[in-house]
Amino acid sequence: AHVVQVVEVADAPLGVFLVLDYVEGDALSGLLNSARAQGEHIPRRIAGRILSDALIGLHAAHELVDDAGKPLNLVHRDFSPHNIMVGTDGLSRLTDFGIAKAAGENATTTGVLKGKVGYMAPEYALGKEPDRRADIWSAGVVLWELLSGARLFKVKNDVAALIKLVSQAPARIEDVVPDVPSAVAALWASS
């Protein structure tokens, strides 16, 4: 229920295309941009529900098995507000598995990073093979952004973001959002 379903995969003269379930609503990125434009934040309880739903979808992807029951070890590699659809039905769904990668798959060219740099795990940015922990890092960045109302690294381009990502620890959320619950702040302390 928390993953946008693929209805059909087809081949056309211009290439392969996917038909996905239609989700009436907006991407979380659109909601964040609207809130920022009005000088507001998405209320914490709503933000928590949105992220919780998306994490249920992410967990389902991580636990996916093949027909023989063997884990696929799928990694989304682009868990970001752009790929979390918030439906008018109150459910949030993870979408865009277009760059997801299963363990052992060789679909990515060596040295090519896939995903949005601002949500990328440092280990992945350094060239290590991503696993589900890279997606969990990305979820933490989304949570940080939901709580603070700002991007984790305020930079002008992806190169600057990569440099900060691999050379600097992120700001502690309680330093940016002093009234954040201690249990939420503890999430960063344990990473």
The dihedral through the CA atoms of 184, 185, 190, 191 has a sign that is positive
Q: Which residues are catalytic?
A: 78
> CB 34: neighbour CB atoms within 10 A?
12
- What are the counts of helices (DSSP H) followed by strands (DSSP E) for the chain? 7, 5
pLDDT of the chain, 191 residues: tens digit per residue: 899 988 888 999 999 888 889 999 999 999 999 999 999 999 999 999 999 999 999 999 999 999 999 999 999 989 999 999 999 999 999 998 766 666 555 544 555 667 788 898 888 888 888 899 999 999 999 999 999 998 888 878 878 888 888 888 888 899 999 999 898 888 876 55
The DSSP 8-state label assigned to residue 3 in this structure reads B
Assessment of whether the complete model's pTM goes beyond 0.85? yes
| Cross-strand partners of 16 | 11
Question: What DSSP letter does each residue of 5-20 carry, written as one string?
Answer: PEEEEEEETTEEEEEE
Residue 121 tokens read as 């795990």
Residue 92, helix vs strand vs coil: strand
